[in-house]
Structure 1
């Protein structure tokens, strides 16, 4: 279940919708956006939020992609629990900087009301979100992975298998990232027993 009615989730959707006027009369799927990071975690679990949206924008034309990214430069303001907050599109996000399985697009979860739209928004599948957090592996990344596991969003065997495949072609110190994976899996199995 996706948590799409929270103030943060609504702000993220409003932010993305800013690009719709640029896409008038374009066919469905002209632009595909894949959300990662804290916003994806929030939409998947209703846990912590984020002040920025880490998302991959894929467009049929480079110029169109650049125009869309330009529309996302201003923050989107929202209110939550009486606090004025904002979320901004992370212009620096690049999914090649983190381990990611090559089939992540196939597993991504579409937002239902965008399927016929020229702009389709997808939330990274919990497994792919967890894999992406193995590269940086800060304390927060570890907590996020454990949150996804604890929420029942990850099958440990599938996570292990797909993460190892992603690590095989991720340009990194494979031993370090594999050690991070082993640590997370060992901790998760220990909590279950």
Structure 2
């Protein structure tokens, strides 16, 4: 599965977590690999999967061992924007979005099994959610942009219609308001079915 990790934006995303690694290793000794795990969602994940437009906000699920205070990690990420030159040769900023919460998104609980490793063998390990799980995470809000993103991922053959149906229904079983999500799932299955014909 092709991903794009060498674009200016992708490099900036990885740089953010490398800076977190440096910060943690300065303050703590002998931490295991994966003491912090970051799972990339949102526009940044869409960019890495497609090399298309991204978001300047980093949406990520952060997990940390009890020895590390997760709130300190979030504050560090929030206070350390990454400046970079984008593909149009313009200076731009990449910012961590503390507001992202997988509890509010539509998430298949098996998403971690399908993640793609970006940085491993480090204190801070970084994983990209699969294109399938990225699409599923967009079902709760399902704005016009979300619909377009799901369509693009599907047309790039990043997942099949059957995979989408199974994963969407898994997410629905764990979602706070399954009735609303069910309606969005039906709509997207109908749209993707038309694209398959």
- Which residue is 2:12 aligned to? 11
Counterpart pick for 2:82 among 76, 84, 87: 76
In the superposition, the TM-score normalised over structure 1's length comes to: 0.93
SS of equivalent residue, structure 2 residue 103: helix
C-alpha distance after superposition, 1:111-168 (max 9, x if no partner): 1xx2211111001111111111000111111111111101110111011011111101
Counterpart pick for 2:62 among 57, 63, 72: 57
Displacement after TM superposition at 1:64 (Å): 3.1
Q: For 1:1-193, list aligned pairs within 5 A.
A: 1-21=2-22, 22-23=24-25, 25-61=30-66, 63-73=68-78, 74-80=80-86, 81-111=88-118, 114-172=119-177, 174-193=178-197
SS of equivalent residue, structure 1 residue 154: coil
Structure 1, unmatched stretches of 5+, are none
Inter-partner Cα distance in structure 2 for 1:32 and 1:83: 31
Inter-partner Cα distance in structure 1 for 2:140 and 2:73: 28
Structure 2, unmatched stretches of 5+, are none
Runs of 4+ in 1 over 3 A off after TM superposition: none
